[in-house]
């Protein structure tokens, strides 16, 4: 579904688990492709696959995604499109990593074992079944602003903590035939989480194909079971059901999404603290955050000037 206007910046979130061998030459290929098409964002590559988000004008972003789909390695790439009034990134980065989504356990690989993909149009029926356990595999700060009703929250600070939560879950849910439905922002974390639960012996593991973003893109609002907004990892912070920019800002000290009202709180200082983290950081750390915010503000000013010159060109 193409829901962008000519004046919008098009954002493409993409990933695929696949066997990648020559990471250096793959990085060079992606660097050249993205530079040629003037897109910005971040792409991670590892031996297990590719994961990233890019943004630019419609023609350039489509050119990148079409080129990737023509490459036999990336054919069938999972892609979600959304829109934003302005460029959410300041530069383009392609990075080689150990994992494209870090769970921290060697051998957990969706290329080898994975749960059953559920298309967005079939998701409502699955999670409406009272016999199904629904797990939101995202982190605590993401679940704060929206989720599917009656979901279980692991309350992790990072995906690395998810395996520890699974150990607790195994003690509580000993029936390995229990139906488990998992979801995340773009589909990548819940796909890897499904691999972990399959390795732990659970037989009926399902995950939302394309994640929340594909669900919002596919399912009409009047039929949607999604409640709230969806946290995203760029300067938009959150998306509404139409995949436009949401109503939240972010505390860049703790990553917690915050409302305009919460920014009026006495403990809020841009990039330094908010009511959720003020008592959890030392004075020294707050000073480091303050210095970092100063550098970010400088970079943002330079980035805006650079972007403006690119758009004029």
Query: Of the listed 184, 251, 274, 277, which one is catalytic?
Result: 184
Q: Is 230 a catalytic residue?
A: no
Q: How many CA atoms lie within 13 A of 10 on its CB side?
A: 23
Nearest to 11 by CA among 39, 33, 38: 39
Nearest to 109 by CA among 101, 121, 117: 101
What 3-state DSSP class applies to 244?
coil
* Residue recorded with tokens 């303050």: 290
Cα angle vertex 231, ends 227, 236, to 5°?
A: 125
Strand partners, 182: 135, 207
Two structure tokens written together for 125: 């029926």
Residues of the chain by 3-state class (helix, strand, coil), percent to 5: 35, 25, 40
Q: How far apart are CA 240 and CA 7, in angstroms?
A: 19
Question: Where in the sequence numbering do the catalytic residues fall?
Answer: 184
């Amino acid at each position: 579904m193409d829901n962008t206007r000519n004046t919008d910046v098009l954002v493409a979130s993409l990933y695929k688990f696949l066997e990648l061998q020559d990471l250096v030459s793959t990085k060079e290929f992606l660097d050249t492709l993205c530079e040629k098409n003037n897109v910005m964002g971040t792409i991670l590559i590892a031996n297990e696959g590719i994961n990233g988000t890019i943004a630019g004008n419609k023609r350039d972003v489509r050119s990148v995604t079409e080129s990737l789909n023509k490459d036999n390695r990336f054919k069938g790439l999972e892609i979600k499109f959304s829109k934003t009034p302005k460029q959410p990134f300041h530069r383009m980065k392609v990075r080689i990593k150990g994992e494209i989504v870090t769970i921290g356990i060697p051998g957990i690989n969706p290329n080898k074992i994975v749960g059953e993909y559920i298309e967005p149009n079939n998701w409502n029926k699955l999670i409406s079944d009272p016999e199904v356990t629904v797990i939101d595999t995202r982190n605590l700060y993401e679940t704060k602003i929206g989720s599917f009703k009656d979901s279980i929250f692991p309350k992790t600070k990072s995906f690395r903590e998810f395996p520890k939560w699974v150990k607790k879950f195994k003690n509580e849910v000993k029936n390995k035939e229990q139906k488990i439905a998992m979801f995340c922002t773009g589909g990548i974390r819940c796909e890897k989480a499904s691999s972990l639960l399959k390795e732990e012996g659970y037989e009926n593991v399902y995950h939302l194909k394309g994640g929340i973003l594909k669900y919002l893109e596919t399912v009409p609002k009047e039929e949607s079971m999604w409640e709230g907004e969806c946290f995203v990892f760029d300067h938009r912070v959150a998306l509404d059901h139409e995949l436009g920019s949401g109503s939240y800002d972010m505390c860049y000290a703790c990553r917690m999404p915050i409302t305009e009202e919460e920014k009026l709180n006495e403990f809020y200082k841009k990039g330094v603290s908010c009511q959720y983290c003020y008592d959890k950081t030392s004075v020294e750390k707050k000073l480091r955050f303050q210095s970092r915010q100063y550098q970010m503000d400088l970079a943002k000013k330079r980035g805006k000037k650079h972007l403006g010159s690119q758009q004029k060109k």
